[in-house]
Amino acid sequence: MTEQVKTQLEYMDKISKINKGKNLKYHIITMGCQLNENDSEKIAGMLMKMQYAETIDSHDANILIFNTCCVRENSEEKLFGKIGETKKLRKEKGTIVAICGCMMQEKHITEKIKKSYPFIDIIFGTHTLYKFAEDLYNLLQNKKKIVDVIDIDGEIYEGLPIKRNDNKKANVIIMYGCNNFCSYCIVPYVRGRERSRSPQDILNEVRELAKEGYKEITLLGQNVNSYAGKCRGELCSPEMPLREVFLPQANAVRPYTDNTSLRLRYSEYGNALDQTWDFAILLKEVAKIDGIETIRFLSPHPKDFTDEVIEAISENKKVSRWIHLPLQSGSTNVLKLMNRKYTKEQYLNLVEKIKNKIPDVVLSTDIIVGFPGETEEDFEDTLEVVKKVGFEQVYMFIYSKRIGTPAAEAQDQISEDIKHKRFDRLKKLVDAEVQKNNQKYIGKTEKILVEGFSKNNENMLTGRNSANKIIVFEGNSDLIGKTVEIKITSEHQWYLRGKVENNIERTSK
């Protein structure tokens, strides 16, 4: 734990003393991806330490937090609508209103908030999230509005409290930031450069989760397969047998791996203590942790999907057979304009390689339609790739201009009309492909972790199979948190329906 985190824990302690016995509540509204969800879990952890309890009703909260996303434009409209509504709440109830997350790293947004919504109490960015307790303490003491946003990349702060949203499935961040600068994307500007957590911190977190009864973890990062975590002055994994191994290349950066274990160049070259691990090694070591049944990861970049990563997945049944492989466009021309660093052919070759090595793999993807300069031919290339790959799931986005990104400056923007028409054509194809694909599940038995009741039908339970497919079935609440076998009876585009075949695990947490 760093000095900075210790200081923050002291602030949490001070606020906890101020708040004791007051029965205070918090409510967090999270927008965007799982990385934001994880940040919200950390904010919730800090709030719990400061004697705030969670409430699902924002009107009942003493502190209301908006954790924002800025990947696409519609999040801005959503946020401004919602914060406008809090003015009354703040006036009548004295609710503290704080806004944080990616959008706060954009200067034009914080300026707009300061000007049009001056009642907001705290604005903090992605790099200052760890200082939330200090900001809140200063607000409570001095009654002055706080704006705490910095541009420089934040460090990695280990040891902050966390309150997880689930007790069987957990997200584990392995790296922060992104170095890729895809020309449409705002993320590198608001999340900073890549910073990998050390392998020890990740493995310790997963071991703790396993001890607490968690069964499924998702390793998270903007670009997980460029993970490069340095071991900090101690052995990365106590499970690793330390033997002297002969390595022909004294300067090889990657530790030597074989089928049974990962061995470090230890005695020969004496630098085992500061080895750098890549994603393949991390995946193999995480898979060795007992108690964790399923490991997922989000999101990899096709350009960094190495043979070692494919091998690590194929060798480890615990690693989910669902791989999310963002395509963005099927046209080599557009991919170049997007700065994606692969061609249509390279993407298709990668898919072939993955399918050969992992025969039961299922793929999902992200696609942007209407990128500046996208011609009808380019768009047809995208349709062709979708047909060739046979994705299980496609997340489709209409290109959205992000201020400060190169693509926003392009002269050849596509009209809204064409963007929407292309989106509809892609959706029609995707729907048909997904339906075709789903047929293969009918009659099969799928092993799943039961997550809870379905949001759309509270008499039904849901869970996801290894391919991340939602499965809905009848059952009662004591199955929640257990692993069961479900026989699939029908497909419904975005989910499969089935019947409990066998309750595998009878003990619950």
Residues that bind ligand 5AD (CB under 6 A): 71-72, 184-185, 326, 328, 366, 368, 397, 399-400, 402
- Distance CA(225)–CA(304), nearest Å, equals 6
Cα distances from 253 to residues 228, 269, 487, in angstroms, run: 11, 12, 46
Q: Which is nearer to ligand 5AD, 58 or 328 (CB)?
A: 328
Residue 178 binds which of ligand SF4, ligand 5AD, none (CB < 5-8 A, kind-dependent):
ligand SF4
Q: Dihedrals φ, ψ of 236, to 5°? A: -65, -40
What ranges in 242-389 are assigned the alpha helix state H?
A: 279-287, 307-315, 332-338, 344-357, 376-389
Residues paired with 364 in a beta bridge: 324, 393
Contacting ligand SF4 within 271-310 (CB under 6 A): 301
Q: Which is nearer to ligand 5AD, 62 or 328 (CB)?
A: 328
From 181, 269, 395, 494, residue interacting with ligand SF4 (rule: CB under 6 A):
181
Residue 56, burial from CB neighbour count under 10 angstroms (0-12, 13-18, 19+):
exposed
What is the bridge-based pairing of β-strands 470-474 and 276-277?
unpaired
Query: Per CB under 6 A, does 38 bind ligand SF4?
Result: no
Cβ-count burial 241-278 (b if 16+ within 10 Å, e if not): eeeeeeeeeeeeebbeeeeebbbbbbeeeeebeebebb
Residue 222 binds which of ligand 5AD, ligand SF4, none (CB < 5-8 A, kind-dependent):
ligand SF4
Residue 153 binds which of ligand SF4, ligand 5AD, none (CB < 5-8 A, kind-dependent):
none
Under 8 Å between Cβ of 134 and 6: no
Q: Dihedrals φ, ψ of 317, to 5°? A: -65, -20
Residue 322 binds which of ligand 5AD, ligand SF4, none (CB < 5-8 A, kind-dependent):
none
Residue 302 binds which of ligand SF4, ligand 5AD, none (CB < 5-8 A, kind-dependent):
none
Residue 218 binds which of ligand SF4, ligand 5AD, none (CB < 5-8 A, kind-dependent):
none
Query: Per CB under 6 A, does 42 bind ligand SF4?
Result: no
Residue 368 binds which of ligand SF4, ligand 5AD, none (CB < 5-8 A, kind-dependent):
ligand 5AD
From 68, 223, 320, 329, residue interacting with ligand SF4 (rule: CB under 6 A):
223
What is the bridge-based pairing of β-strands 96-101 and 52-54?
unpaired
CA proximity to 503, closest of 488, 443, 486: 486
Cβ-count burial 478-504 (b if 16+ within 10 Å, e if not): ebbbbbbebebeebeeebbbbeeeeee
Q: Which is nearer to ligand 5AD, 153 or 366 (CB)?
A: 366
From 102, 103, 136, 185, residue interacting with ligand SF4 (rule: CB under 6 A):
185
Residue 366 binds which of ligand SF4, ligand 5AD, none (CB < 5-8 A, kind-dependent):
ligand 5AD
From 127-135, 178-186, 265-273, 409-417, span contacting ligand SF4 (CB under 6 A):
178-186
Cα distances from 105 to residues 75, 126, 173, 260, in angstroms, run: 14, 7, 20, 45
Q: Which is nearer to ligand SF4, 8 or 222 (CB)?
A: 222
Contacting ligand SF4 within 428-467 (CB under 6 A): none
Smallest separation (angstroms) from ligand 5AD to the CB of 170: 21
From 101, 188, 199, 370, residue interacting with ligand SF4 (rule: CB under 6 A):
188
User: What is residue 234's DSSP assignment?
Assistant: S
Q: How far is CA 467 from the centre of its chain?
A: 17
- Distance CA(454)–CA(460), nearest Å, equals 6
Q: Which is nearer to ligand SF4, 113 or 363 (CB)?
A: 363
From 14-22, 149-157, 174-182, 282-290, span contacting ligand SF4 (CB under 6 A):
174-182
Residue with tokens 């709030």: 47
Residue 127 binds which of ligand 5AD, ligand SF4, none (CB < 5-8 A, kind-dependent):
none
- Distance CA(321)–CA(407), nearest Å, equals 34
Q: Which is nearer to ligand SF4, 178 or 219 (CB)?
A: 178
Smallest separation (angstroms) from ligand SF4 to the CB of 60: 36
**Footprint of ligand SF4 on this chain (CB under 6 A)?**
178, 180-182, 185, 187-188, 222-223, 301
